[in-house]
Amino acid sequence: MSARRTGLFGHRIVWFNVPVVKVVSLSASHRDLDLDLLVQFARAAGGLDQAVVAGRAARAAVVLATCNRLEVYLEVMPNLAAQAVESVISVLAREGDINAAAVRAALVRRDGPQAVEHLFAVASGLESMVVGEREIVGQVSRALDAAREAKTTGPLLERVFQDAIRVSREVERHTSLGSHGQSVLSVGLDLAAAHVEPWDQVSALLVGSGKYAGAAVAALRRRGCTNVKVYSPSGRAEKFAAPRGLDAVAPGDLVKQLRDADIVVACSGRGDVVLDLEMASMARKGGDTSAPRPLVIVDVALTRDIDRAVGDLAGVTFFDLAKIKAHAPDIGIEPIRRARQVISAGVERWFEWRERRAAHHRVASRVQAGDTRLTGVSNGTRDPREAAA
């Protein structure tokens, strides 16, 4: 197929149409949904990118799942966008055992410029539970890495995610958002500070051994807490603890270490409860003292590591994502306004690149079509398709 228009000097220019691919995003976040539904989405998101790409409606897919959002970015042909979206809904409904209508109602769809701008805002921390937090950009980067490993990324999503990471750094550099140094974890620890001894006297038990656990260790140490023990539900405690100079906790010692802890920071997010009411009750009743020591729990895993009922035990103060969200600091309007300006400029640059790329493909298509015509003439055929045959 080709489109014809008249040039400046009256001659006809033939632009051969090339496939126009666009970005579509589907989002579910703490802003719109109950955290319990987000938990269901998070549990259903494993392998979502591969399942959607296998259905062939989407050329590529990247899934970003954090403690307060699920984002699905698709690279699709416009005529297949609706089918790709339905594929995402179908997988989430099936794997999460959720009614498809409820999934459809929960997801916010954005196309083209809106999808790109949204990703840039997400990567810059503007859509986070704690606005301006910097952990999200690492999560965006890891989502892209995961898609590469799963072989579900494509040229358009590669570029838009790389640009999102670049724009997030520009936002940090040109606004005061990064100077606040806040995150979901830091707010949780700030809330805990009112209920524990000075940090250099605190005994901490860390549940988890992933990237977020590393951030938790750093946050505790910045506050002066150096007595940190780590328990890993996945069995990676020794590997995680050794290079950081921490003590690893064996499964059989968990109750004892819980009894001796002043604070528990839970961030494994494996989807199963690590510390249930029975285990916590055993720890609270044991020991030589008549009354157990006060215990503060900060659970920042979306798929909770700790049973909420543990917070009802005497002497236990419990901070989960819902409580942290309620205490998220207000950073003011001006830093956000400036960040939006930086993001808008980034979106404009992205679409300039997109137009250059499309123009390059149009020229390449035209050259290829010309070569095919010449081949047809040299073979004495009238139609390039006859020459190809």
pLDDT in tens, the chain (389 residues): 444 443 333 434 333 344 589 999 999 998 888 888 888 898 899 999 999 999 999 999 999 998 889 999 999 999 999 999 999 999 999 999 999 999 999 999 999 999 999 999 999 999 999 998 888 999 999 999 999 999 999 999 999 999 999 999 999 999 988 766 688 999 999 999 999 999 999 999 999 998 889 999 999 999 999 999 999 999 999 999 999 999 999 999 999 999 999 999 999 877 788 999 999 999 988 655 557 789 999 999 888 899 999 999 999 999 999 999 899 888 888 999 999 999 999 999 998 988 887 776 667 666 666 655 545 545 554 443 333 32
- Residue extents of the structural domains in the chain: 15-180+333-362, 184-326
Q: What is the 8-class DSSP label of residue 131?
A: T
From the list 57, 58, 67, 106, the catalytic residue is 67
Cα-based distances in Å from 170 to 5, 156, 344: 41, 21, 12
What pLDDT is stored for residue 371 in this prediction? 58
Quick one: tokens of 209?
Answer: 């051994």
Please state, in angstroms and rounded to a whole number, the distance separating the CA atoms of residues 317 and 296.
5
Q: Parallel, antiparallel, or unpaired: how do β-strands 227-231 and 203-207 relate? A: parallel
What pLDDT is stored for residue 189 in this prediction? 96
> Dihedral (C-alpha) 78, 84, 86, 89: value to the nearest 10 degrees?
-130
> Dihedral (C-alpha) 357, 361, 367, 370: value to the nearest 10 degrees?
-150
In terms of pTM, does the model score above 0.75? yes
The residue type of 80 is L
> Interhelix angle for 333-378 vs 155-174, to 10°?
150
What pLDDT is stored for residue 6 in this prediction? 38
Domain 184-326 matching CATH 3.40.50.720: the answer reads yes
- The answer to whether 15-180+333-362 and 184-326 have equal CATH topology is no
Active site residue 67: yes
Q: Check if the beta carbon of residue 181 is closer than 8 Å to that of residue 189.
A: no
Cβ neighbours of residue 133 closer than 8 Å, sequence gap 6 or more: 125, 182, 183, 184, 186
Q: Please tell me the CATH superfamily of domain 15-180+333-362, with its number.
A: Glutamyl-tRNA reductase, N-terminal domain (3.30.460.30)
